[in-house]
Chain A
Amino acid sequence: MKRLLALIRREFWENKGAFRTTPLVIGGIYITFLLMSIFTTAHIDNDLYTFREGVRMMAEQPTATRGDILYQIMLGSSVFFTVVMSFVVFFYLLGALYDDRKDRSILFWKSLPASDTLTVASKLLAAMVLAPLAFLAVLIVTHLLMAIIASLMILSVDANPWSLFLSVANPVKAWGMIAVSWFAASIWALPLFGWLLLVSAFAPRVPLLFAVLPPLVLSILQIWIDFLRTFTLKNSMAGVIRDWFFNNPAILTAEVSDGKGKVALGVPLTGRFDHAVTLANIFDRLFSLQMLGGLLLAVLFLGGALWLRHRATDS
């Protein structure tokens, strides 16, 4: 356990740009946009009349409605973090078992008493646990800073931020939901993570190509054959990947329609799962047949990655 933690910390040290700087930049973008919109408002809104009016109308809403709006905003603001985190994790895993083979430092890592299983586990856990924790930490700080800035703004028009929104907010519930959805998404993504580690352990060069090309070629072939035979696109590999993405337990949809905010798990375009953001719906995905199939695939890929890592040297 001590060794595993040491190895996960190693991953953080090596990938500080991905796991620390990237979420900080996103947080910075949020804060910058908030400040920019405040300055714009202050500039064009004469004596902040419209803003006062907005605060007044907000205060007239029932407590439950205000709490719900805040909750939706907090969940919705996580989407950008989720998307960027996905890219970070994707490229992290692609290089995880490749970079040290390229720069020959694998000879050093393999001279340490850490087994290949432990090494692969540390990289998988860095993707599944370390990345969400790091992004969550920055997301929480960003939310707190935004709350402070909004409070100051509200104070400046002689309204009470505490009664207006601070007292009705339930940040722990929102953060908890985001955390659960992210960890669930990590499990949901296990077949992808396993595939990326396998490619990373295998690719002689340009792992991205090896990761993307086989499923792409296979999908195109399948779509073509399927289309020739039945004129449908039902069970193609591309369809499976699309369903996998749309049914992701992470909150990937945040939109405003008819003046109402709406967040959803994954992309609500398929009917197989309920996309409302609830714990029940998240766990419904994790205990589904699809997940079981994904896990089997993940075990296969990870086994392959481990086998390759065991045999890997610098050449």
Chain B
Amino acid sequence: MNPVISARGLSKRYGRTLAVDHIDLDIPPGRIVGLVGPNGAGKTTVLKAILGLATFEGDLSVLGKNPSRQRAALMEDVCFIADVAVLPRWIRVWQLIDLVERLHPRFSREKCLRYLAATKITRSQRVKQLSKGMVAQLHLAVVMAIDARLLVLDEPTLGLDILYRKRFYTNLLNDYFDAERTILITTHQVEEVEHILSDLLFIRDGKISLATSMEEVEQRYTEVMVKAENIEQARALSPIHERSAPFGKFTIFLFEGVDRERLRPLGELHAPRVADLFVATMEGGR
């Protein structure tokens, strides 16, 4: 199947610094991809290029279109939620729905109203009267009512409390995602999305440092809780990262591509959390 997003040598220069440095990328349909990276690594720049919000060097094709030149046409198939602050504050809920209905050929008013019925949002409220959580709910209701093929989420739950964050991702997964759609998420709260991700993209200093599926992560990476007496043996197997567990009883080692049977004698085995894998790949090789 054709990739939804395909990049070759994608670069973005701000003055002399390369914010994005010759990235190659293929994202097939039906995946939920987490784009993870520290602040300033180039995440937002990559997203902006994909959404036609920034110019770039190299080749980039999103659903077969050049986002910089064909943004308007592309947006018929792409939806985008930046953080919760981007809905215009003056607009009323009914005006927003009315406007999107007139501008978007794939918007379903019924669906949107159905999603909104499950919230406390009323038609005549202005966005500025809504709480942050409600604005996120409103934006999500509008976006989920659009039959798009690619959904891009840039820190969509920033500043929301835990209840809204959980509900946001539950709604997304249960009511929206299917095999035809692709979702691209960036967030700092990796723990909250890791159970819904199918693929991981780590980005560091403008380069992709890891591109893998979650199944592959489970196969390739193993975390071991190593007792003090086994530490030297563990180090001999060239772990990619080590850190001490809380209360100092164990040291936790992360191995890549090492046979589990050789690791088992050292201590308890786990699949690594995405956050730990992220820290390991960011700190390792520094």
A113 within 8 A of B: yes
Given A100-B88, A103-B88, residue A114 in contact with residue B82 (CB < 8 A) = no
Instruction: Point out the residues of chain A lying under 8 angstroms from B88, CB to CB.
Output: 14, 100, 103, 105, 108-109
Instruction: Point out the residues of chain A lying under 8 angstroms from B100, CB to CB.
Output: 112
B54 A10 Cβ-Cβ under 8 A:
no
Please tell me which stretch of B67-75, B200-208, B251-259 contacts chain A, meaning at least 4 of its Cβ atoms lie within 8 angstroms of it: B67-75
Instruction: Point out the residues of chain B lying under 8 angstroms from A116, CB to CB.
Output: 71-72
A240 within 8 A of B: no
**How distant is the Cα of A6 from the Cα of B100 in the complex, in angstroms?**
9
Nearest chain A CB to B141 CB, angstrom units: 14
A205 within 8 A of B: no
Please tell me which stretch of B89-97, B165-173, B176-184, B264-272 contacts chain A, meaning at least 4 of its Cβ atoms lie within 8 angstroms of it: B89-97
**How distant is the Cα of A311 from the Cα of B98 in the complex, in angstroms?**
27
B71 A110 Cβ-Cβ under 8 A:
yes
**How distant is the Cα of A114 from the Cα of B103 in the complex, in angstroms?**
7
Nearest chain B CB to A263 CB, angstrom units: 38
Nearest chain B CB to A170 CB, angstrom units: 39
B80 A103 Cβ-Cβ under 8 A:
no
Q: Which residue of A lies closest to B91 (CB)?
A: A13
B194 within 8 A of A: no
Given A113-B75, A113-B76, residue A6 in contact with residue B86 (CB < 8 A) = no
B51 A311 Cβ-Cβ under 8 A:
no
Nearest chain A CB to B111 CB, angstrom units: 17
- A73-117: CB near B (< 8 Å → 1, else 0) gives 000000000000000000000000000100111111111111110
Chain A residues numbered 194-244 whose CB sits less than 8 Å from any CB in chain B: none
A3 within 8 A of B: yes
**How distant is the Cα of A75 from the Cα of B228 in the complex, in angstroms?**
95
B54 A6 Cβ-Cβ under 8 A:
no
B235 within 8 A of A: no
A108 B87 Cβ-Cβ under 8 A:
yes
Given A3-B103, A311-B55, residue A111 in contact with residue B72 (CB < 8 A) = no
Instruction: Point out the residues of chain A lying under 8 angstroms from B79, CB to CB.
Output: 111
B53 within 8 A of A: yes
A288 within 8 A of B: no
A interface residue count range (under 10 / 10 to 19 / 20 to 34 / 35 or more): 20 to 34
**How distant is the Cα of A6 from the Cα of B95 in the complex, in angstroms?**
10
B interface residue count range (under 10 / 10 to 19 / 20 to 34 / 35 or more): 20 to 34
**How distant is the Cα of A311 from the Cα of B54 in the complex, in angstroms?**
6
A2 within 8 A of B: yes
Nearest chain A CB to B184 CB, angstrom units: 13
A111 B85 Cβ-Cβ under 8 A:
no
B105 within 8 A of A: yes
**How distant is the Cα of A9 from the Cα of B101 in the complex, in angstroms?**
13
**How distant is the Cα of A311 from the Cα of B102 in the complex, in angstroms?**
25
A118 within 8 A of B: yes
**How distant is the Cα of A112 from the Cα of B95 in the complex, in angstroms?**
15
A111 B89 Cβ-Cβ under 8 A:
no
B103 A105 Cβ-Cβ under 8 A:
no
A313 B75 Cβ-Cβ under 8 A:
no
B1 within 8 A of A: no
Given A104-B85, A105-B87, residue A111 in contact with residue B51 (CB < 8 A) = yes
B90 A112 Cβ-Cβ under 8 A:
no
Nearest chain B CB to A58 CB, angstrom units: 49
Q: Which residue of B lies closest to A109 (CB)?
A: B88
Instruction: Point out the residues of chain B lying under 8 angstroms from A14, CB to CB.
Output: 88, 90-91
B162 within 8 A of A: no
Q: Which residue of B lies closest to A9 (CB)?
A: B99
Given A112-B103, A113-B103, residue A313 in contact with residue B86 (CB < 8 A) = no
B86 A2 Cβ-Cβ under 8 A:
no
B48 within 8 A of A: yes
Nearest chain B CB to A55 CB, angstrom units: 49
B99 A104 Cβ-Cβ under 8 A:
no
Nearest chain A CB to B197 CB, angstrom units: 22
Scoring B55, B88, B90 by chain A CB atoms within 10 A of each residue's CB, the highest score goes to B88
Scoring A3, A5, A112, A311 by chain B CB atoms within 10 A of each residue's CB, the highest score goes to A112
A113 B104 Cβ-Cβ under 8 A:
yes
B73 A113 Cβ-Cβ under 8 A:
yes
Chain B residues numbered 105-145 whose CB sits less than 8 Å from any CB in chain A: 105, 139
Q: Which residue of A lies closest to B139 (CB)?
A: A108
Instruction: Point out the residues of chain A lying under 8 angstroms from B82, CB to CB.
Output: 104, 107-108, 314
Please name 30 pairs of A and B residues whose Cβ atoms are closer than 8 Å in the assembled complex, sorted by A. Answer: A3-B103, A5-B102, A6-B98, A13-B91, A13-B95, A14-B91, A100-B88, A103-B85, A104-B86, A105-B86, A105-B87, A105-B89, A106-B86, A107-B53, A107-B80, A107-B86, A108-B88, A109-B88, A110-B53, A111-B78, A111-B80, A112-B100, A112-B103, A113-B72, A113-B105, A114-B75, A313-B48, A313-B53, A313-B54, A314-B86
Q: Which 3 A-B pairs rank lowest in CB-CB distance, beginning with the nearest?
A: A6-B102, A115-B72, A111-B80
A113-B76, A114-B75 given; name 19 further pairs at CB < 8 Å: A3-B103, A6-B102, A10-B95, A10-B99, A13-B90, A13-B91, A14-B90, A103-B89, A104-B82, A104-B85, A105-B86, A105-B88, A108-B86, A110-B52, A110-B71, A110-B75, A112-B100, A113-B72, A114-B103
